[in-house]
Chain A
Amino acid sequence: MKAYILKRLLSMIPVLLIVAIFVFFLIHMIPGDPAAVMLGPEATPEEVESLKEELGLNLPIYQQFFEWSLHALQGDLGNSLYMNQPVLDAFIGHLGPTLSLALLAQGVSIFLAIPIGVLAARKRGTGVDRTFMIIAMLGMSIPSFLLALLLMLVFGVQLNWLPVAGYSSLGEGLWEHLKYLILPAISLGTIQAAVIARMTRSSMIDILSMNFIKTAKAKGLKQKVVIYKHAFRNALIPILTILGETFGALITGAVVTETVFNLPGIGQLVINAITRRDYAVIQGTILLIAVTYLFLNLIIDLLYGLVDPRVRLNRK
């Protein structure tokens, strides 16, 4: 097990190197002088020169890359030009809302999708199945901002149950924290739920036609036990893959939802960095998102072993 994790960690190195190279050259792909572009048209030549000096842009390119990588390895991803703080600190500061939102949204999606998917599989071909699958299809086609705006309009403006935008950290109380996240989590979660429900359905249908399901029935087990114990445990394996992917997407792809609800998460950090041409932040965030993704994948792979003994690793 330990050896496996170590091996996986080592195999991340080439991936991270590729990401790092890409991220590093991002700054050199800017047409013209990067320092001048960053500072905008009103900057004086002296200011540009001093920024160049600060960023090490005068050094040969391989040396720049080497130094940048060395710093990155130590967790120093440079400083944000606008926020006057290290990129890593900015990232960590924005991670909280994104992580809370992603977890809550994933919770919403699992809570909705799995029972619906299992039900649709059991009632395969009937009206119930078709209705749910049409709803899922619709769910997948709705743009997240549209659903977000609708939810805001109904629950925020009309009913006035929940705030329409803003954020309060967990430190200020659980409910304070949650009440800002419920609407964004629902709007993100329902869309993800559509994907997961479809996957659950097809995976369950596959498993329910397997021979061991017949064995389970022949044992005299109740239908509930056959479905939720014997079939679901097996169906969970492909579902887990989808959960990993959707969670990854929730962490990195909630940009639109975060913007609509004005949540100070990673999405907002990236958007602001792009509009302000804060290259250090863009670079650092991309790198850190890649790292997050890789670790998430590792966790999912370790979870497989938990669900499926055939891929369990501590056995020989």
Chain B
Amino acid sequence: MEDCPLLEVKELRTRFSSEKGTITAVDGVTFRVDHGETLGVVGESGCGKSVTAESIMRLLNEKSTRYDGEINFKGRNLLSLPEKKMLDIRGNEISMIFQDAMTSLNPVFTIGDQIAESIIVHQNLGKREAMEKAVEMLRLTGIPSPEKRVHEYPHEISGGMRQRVMIAMALSCKPSLLIADEPTTALDVTIQAQILEVINDLKEELNMGVMMITHDLGVVAEVCTRVAVMYLGQVIEESDVDTLFDSPRHPYTRGLLKSIPTITGDRSQKLHTIQGVVPALDNIPKGCRFAPRCPYATDQCISESPLLEALENGQKIRCWHHEEIMKREGVTDVITTAT
């Protein structure tokens, strides 16, 4: 059981059929999450981060979605489980928190009811015991006077509180994997830090694996142990967090890191931007997906798609020229302190 990773996504491909034809939102994504570690999944909006997460939970409309590949959770392939078995996994063994806590809570039920609901479903407890547990969970997430809060409705509490409620709800059944889809994006910076701390503390306490989806490299630096960078439905680089910040290899990752403003930098210098825009999913470049925006692109990049290559240091990279780039530019060009 110990060799078996908590979550192992292998060559996941998620396709939607729509009126315009088939769209491949996730194309051959591979990564793993172990007990007690936080994997950051980074990328711009529309790169397939959320679709990957929702594929793991199988939350997408299955009539118009086709999955290929494997999602092995504790050794079982979730993609081949019947929906009935998935019901036992969702909210129980794998939980998810969403970006917008404002709209992710049902406005017509009390907070307590909403937390107690998953406890009742998964743990066979009565309403009263479940409510007591809900209060306890709220206390764990740092909500003051939780025994009063359980009777309140989502519109009566602040955004930060609502995200705490979401966390309490997600963790109420002590899942072994938590998927957090941009949990702090909609919050003030001061609240962000608090929420990340709550997630981190509870991760340690429950020895959970966490998949932290974000576009904020600050969040990655703060809480993640490993990072997967996604671009247009593919993982283009994966490494532990220090390596990623110290010696990023993929031109896209380098570009992302260069676009972070620093407090010590030269103020007269313009902030770096990555040229061009992300192509639409129905118009994916044939070769390397980043080639049209890449300053190092060659003919090979435009015609042939690189594979995800594993390096000796554990880093994984999807680029034809990463070695040359590293030789040519080294690591100095990229900021090394991203926190």
Contact = CB atoms under 8 A, between A and B. Distances in A.
A215 to B, nearest CB: 5
Interface stretch (B26-34, B94-102, B251-259, B305-313): B94-102
A45 interface: no
B117 A219 contact: yes
B89 interface: yes
Interface of B: 54, 57, 59, 86-92, 95-96, 98, 100, 103-110, 117-118, 121-122, 153, 155, 166, 169-170
Interface string A282-316: 00000000000000000000000001111000000
Contact of B59 (A212, A214, A233, A308): A214
A307 B106 contact: no
A220 interface: yes
A230 B90 contact: no
A251 to B, nearest CB: 29
A217 B121 CA distance: 12
Nearest to B117: A219
A100 interface: no
Interface string A210-231: 1110111111111000000010
A218 B90 contact: yes
Given A219-B121, A310-B153, A212 B104 contact: yes
B104 A234 contact: no
B107 A218 contact: no
A216 B110 CA distance: 14
A222 B120 CA distance: 13
B100 A219 contact: no
Nearest to A234: B108
A210 B103 contact: yes
Closest 5 CB pairs of A and B: A220-B91, A220-B90, A219-B91, A211-B103, A219-B118
Contacts of B100: 211
Contacts of B108: 233-234, 307-309
B104 A222 contact: no
Given A211-B103, A216-B106, A218-B59, A309 B117 contact: no
Nearest to B169: A219
Nearest to A232: B108
Contacts of B105: 212, 215
Given A222-B87, A309-B107, 7 more contacts: A212-B104, A212-B106, A215-B105, A218-B95, A219-B169, A220-B90, A234-B108
The contact size tier of chain A is 10 to 19
A61 B121 CA distance: 71
A306 B117 CA distance: 21
B118 A220 contact: yes
Contact of A218 (B57, B122, B153): B57
Given A219-B117, A220-B121, A214 B107 contact: no
Contacts of B110: 309
A215 B117 CA distance: 12
Nearest to A126: B63
Interface string A261-295: 00000000000000000000000000000000000
A205 to B, nearest CB: 13
Contacts of A309: 107-108, 110, 153, 155
A234 B154 CA distance: 14
Contacts of A233: 106, 108-109
Nearest to A207: B106
8 contacts: A212-B104, A219-B118, A219-B121, A220-B90, A220-B121, A234-B107, A308-B107, A309-B107
Contact of A215 (B87, B98, B155): B98
Nearest to A222: B87
A222 B86 CA distance: 10
Contacts of A220: 86-92, 118, 121-122
Contacts of B87: 220-222
A123 to B, nearest CB: 10
B118 A217 contact: no
B151 to A, nearest CB: 11
Contacts of A211: 98, 100, 103-104
A50 to B, nearest CB: 63
A309 B152 CA distance: 10
A199 to B, nearest CB: 18
Contacts of B121: 219-221
A221 B107 CA distance: 17
A68 to B, nearest CB: 47
Nearest to A214: B59
Contacts of A216: 106
A214 B104 contact: yes
Contacts of B170: 218
B86 to A, nearest CB: 8
B87 to A, nearest CB: 5
Contacts of B122: 220
A230 B89 CA distance: 20
Contacts of B89: 220
B31 to A, nearest CB: 20
B91 A230 contact: no
Contacts of B86: 220
A219 B90 contact: yes
Given A220-B88, A221-B121, A310 B106 contact: no
Nearest to B103: A211
A315 B118 CA distance: 28
A237 to B, nearest CB: 8
A218 B103 contact: no
Interface in A176-229: 210-212, 214-222
